[in-house]
Structure 1
Amino acid sequence: MDFFVKLANWLWGPPILILIVGGGLIISLRTGFFQIRYLPFILKETFGKMFSKETEGEGTVSAFQAMTTALASSIGAANIVVVPTIIFAAGPGAVFWMWVAAIVGQATKFGEVALGIKYRKTNKDGDFVGGACYYLKEGIGGNLGKIIGAFTAFFFMIEIFPSITLQTLSAAGAIEMMGSSFGMANTGLIKTIAIIAIFILTSLVVHGGVKAIGEVTEKLVPFMAVIYLVFGAIILAMNFSAIPGAFKMIIVGAFNPKAVVGGVGGATLKAIIQNGIARGVYSNEAGMGSAPYGHAAATTDHPARQGLWGCFEVIVDTLIVCTVSALLVLTTGVWNPEMSAAEMKAVSPVAIERVFNSSFGSIGSLVLSVCLFLFVMSTIIVIAFYTDKLGEYLFGTKAGNIIRWLSTFMIILAIFLSFDNAGTFLDITLGLVVIPNMIGLVMMSGQIKDLKNDFFNNPEFYPGAKKSKLKGAPSKN
């Protein structure tokens, strides 16, 4: 087992981080850092049109439903539980590098989503399907494209199966935690009932097809995010005077960690950069190629327009939700530089729980349990749907349907299994997905640039453009 732990740590060290950050920088440079230059327009087209019913173009679900489907996969327990761990592991400065990864990651996710729309297909049921395996196959072309596409689809599917069980354990654990906070007896039974409920709810939604998933996620994702952000904002307001100091620790600690934590634990410059970038990518999934499986069904008039929703996902997931989690830990004193290494290790996994408890008592535990359950539940629904699309790509529509059923039964396994070492297995298989996806995106960065230019240089799509600089008619799909 030590070998696999070392392999996972090595993969998610320099190899993948260089690929993700370096690849994201290449895409950002080739697209002129559009995510910064056109930020007001991106916000207007996403935040400003979140609930707009106006849609143009072809698709199975609305652009917003497609975005919430993809966002449901990335916004989850990691935003609440995992983010504080980077502060305990490497100090507040790691948050700054998480932001850097998010800014670069917007270009990466834009490319993933735009290429997902460009190379999407319609299946036998008339639904639009697409994803990383599709654009890697078609965009790279030839036998190499076929091999990389199949390789990516297979390992992503293999990663998702045990992930569904782990996510179920997290969701059921949130309910068990709620029961404990209210002094309920036999929390084990509560956990089992919760797992069965998750199986029933997931089955009803996932087997209803992409439209049913879109209808659920467009309501569930905003609701769960708002609950967490509202209560988070209340806590930050209660500790308003500590916010400037928290930002100072983040900025100073990003370049001089010893000035903030005095060299405690792993607070070296290398550690804060690696932790910040790795956790940022783990949270927003930019570079993993997961988002386009959800976005492929979107109704849109241009691949780049849907790509803007990819930027939106990273903004919401990392720059908003993850930042709130980090500030909650820094402003309430749950983390402080005087803690011993043993204390930090003990507090790290339950940091946000302590924040909510100290602020609201048992009600805080209830709210956090509900947030965790909804965050994880939405993730389970979407990644179970992803297994269908991956199976469909590899083996055909009927096989995809069978694999979708198998994926939902992985929920039931949470009653019997703990998967103590599954995290290492998941890291390795996900690494085997990220590497070919990022290499493919860099190879297709010219196509991403062309899609971006076709959109932003044409007044039909971007009002700020004086005239199209590209020859020919604008791309409609």
Structure 2
Amino acid sequence: MNAFTKWVEVISDFLWGAPIIVLLIGGGLFLTIRLGFFQFRYMPHILRQTFGKIMSKGSGDGTLTPFQATTSALASTMGAANIVGVPVAIALGGPGAIFWMWLVALIGIGTKYSEVVLGIKYREKNKAGDYVGGPMYYIKKGLGWKKVAYIFAFALMIEIIASTMVQSNSIATTIESSFGLPPYITGILVALLVALVSFGGIKAIGRVTERLIPSMVVLYIVSALIVIAFNITEVPAAFGLIFTYAFQPLSAAGGFAGAGVAAAIRWGLARGLYSNEAGIGTAPIAHAAAVNNHPAKQGFWGVFEVIVDTLIVCTMTAMVVLTTGVWKVIDANNASSMVTEAYSTVFGATIGGIIISVVLFLFVITTVVVIVYYGEKQAEFLFGTGFSKVMRLVYIIAIIVGALGGLQFVWKFLDLLLAIVVVPNVIAVLFLSGKVREVTNDYFTNLYPIERKK
């Protein structure tokens, strides 16, 4: 087994190195160019159609409001990585990594928008009368690649078993260190909460995420702004560090080991690529359920996701770490504790730890609820609605097992399975980019003049 898992790790490390980074960035650039740099040309309009219409119920066919579908998708991207991943990128790549994180997020908007547009264009109704869609549908219906669609669905269905374990374990260990609660109790609690929501279907998930996601984002942003406010004189210097060391190496200082430009680029790109899940193909599964009268409109909500997840929340994390100076004190091996340490400088160790623990708990709960739904939809696509209920039970059991740290060898398959999901999805989106352009051109030719006057 050791030799096999080692082989899995080697393959995963290779795929998640240059091949997938090139595919995601290259694909994002291709889509951005083919769509006429729409995210830059029409950003004010996109912001009005999303931030300006958060309470709108939308018009057309669908199961969820556009905002409910977006918060459901956002729930799977807003996780521990927003709090833990950014400090790791700074620790290994220096402050300049944040510049590259921003850049790749702007490029990734093209990919996320395209995925959501295709998710709406090729969606269909299931036996329960709910709208379903995602890469497995647009790969099968848009390209006729049935076998590739089944491979995608099967890989994602299995990947979510490992993903729920990892998410559950992360929150169980955090709660244990902060409050002394045994992992098995946290695991059972999380499993019960996820089961209660999951059995209500996508409508229940939409109602829960519509309330929880804005609340936890506001809690984190407000608390982060308080920390930044206490260090307001350091804000200009923090931005200076980001822009300066994106293009020149930074020498070692305190706990920071130093970083070259290549490291800044590598870790910034990685954080930008992984934080908002553009290219992974999960978002269109949630967005496909939205009430919608034009695919491009829901695609704008995909843009909204990237802005909130990477350009706002990840930036808040970066500024907290940089303005408090903890990045120069804590070494890379302990980078995940940087935000908690930064909060403790303002709120004190106890309250700071509680705030981060609560935010992480909410992030993990919403993430697990949504990815369980994603897994169910893959099972439904492959084997029907009956089997999707079986997989729901498997995922709930996996939550408890993961909290206890069991079956860790399964976790090693996470990156490999995710690669099997990403590669066919991005390739399919590139092949279908002509359809995305048609939808986009139709919107900006026919609806854009009308929407501008509203």
TM-score band, normalised by the shorter chain? Answer: over 0.9
In structure 2, distance between residues paired with 1:461 and 1:402? 48
| Residue type at the aligned position of 2:149 | G
- Determine if the alignment matches structure 1 residue 435 to structure 2 residue 423: yes
Q: Compared with structure 1, are the counterparts of its residues 260 and 108 closer, same or farther at alpha carbon in structure 2 (3 Å cutoff)?
A: farther
Report the CA distance shift for 1:259/1:267 in structure 2 as closer, same or farther (over 3 A): closer
* Partner of residue 214, structure 1: 206
SS in structure 2 opposite 1:288? coil
Count of residue pairs the alignment pairs up: 447
Equivalent in the alignment of 1:393: 381
Match of 1:36 among 36, 40, 51: 40
Q: What letter corresponds to residue 32 of structure 1 in structure 2?
A: G
147-156 or 298-307, which moves further after superposition? 147-156
- Is the 8 Å Cα contact of residues 97 and 242 (structure 2) preserved in structure 1? yes
How many Å apart are 1:344 and its aligned residue? 1.3
| Matching residue's letter, 2:429 | L
1:271 maps to 2:275: no
Residue 24, structure 1, aligned to residue 28, structure 2: yes
Structure 1's 17 and 463: CA in aligned 2 closer, same or farther, altered over 3 A? same
Q: Which residue of 2 aligns with 1:182?
A: none
List alignment gaps of at least 5 residues for structure 2.
none
Letter in 1 for 2:263: A
Listed one character per residue, the Cα deviations across residues 384-433 of structure 1 (whole Å, up to 9, x for unaligned) are: 11111010111111111221222122112134335556554211111111
TM-score with structure 2 setting the length: 0.94
- In structure 1, the residue matched to 2:195 is 203
Alpha carbons 1:455, 1:461 under 8 Å: kept: no
Shift of 1:175: 2.2
Would the aligned equivalents of 1:249 and 1:260 in 2 still touch at CA under 8 Å? no
Q: Deviations over 1:62-93 (max 9, x none)?
A: 11100000000001111001111000011111
Which sections of structure 1, spanning at least 5 residues, go unmatched? 180-186, 466-477
Query: 1:72 is matched with which residue: 68, 75, 84?
Result: 75
Are 1:137 and 2:135 an aligned pair?
no
> 1:156 corresponds to which residue?
156
1:308 to 295, 300, 305: 300
1:230-269 mapped onto 2 (5 Å cutoff): 230-258=222-250, 265=257, 267-269=259-261
Q: CA deviation at 1:292?
A: 0.6
Residue 275 of structure 1 and its aligned partner are, at CA, apart by 1.4
* 1:459 aligned onto 2:447: yes
- State how far apart, in whole Å, the 2-side matches of 1:234 and 1:453 are: 43
Q: CA deviation at 1:188?
A: 4.8
Coordinate RMSD, CA, aligned: 1.8
Give per-residue Cα distances to partners, 1:5-38, cap 9 Å, x unaligned: 3322221111001100100011100111111111
| Matched position secondary structure for 2:374 | helix
* Partner secondary structure for residue 282 of structure 1: helix
Cα displacement (A) at 1:261 = 7.0
Task: Measure how far apart 1:172 and its partner are.
Answer: 2.2
CA drift of 1:258 comes to: 3.3
Task: Give 2:100's aligned residue.
Answer: 97
> How far is 1:464 from its partner?
4.5
Alpha-carbon distance between aligned partners in 2 of 1:88 and 1:325, rounded to the nearest angstrom = 13
Distance in 2 (CA, whole Å) between partners of 1:265 and 1:2 is 28
Tell me the TM-score normalised to structure 1 length.
0.90
- Which residue, out of 111, 114, 118, partners 2:121? 118
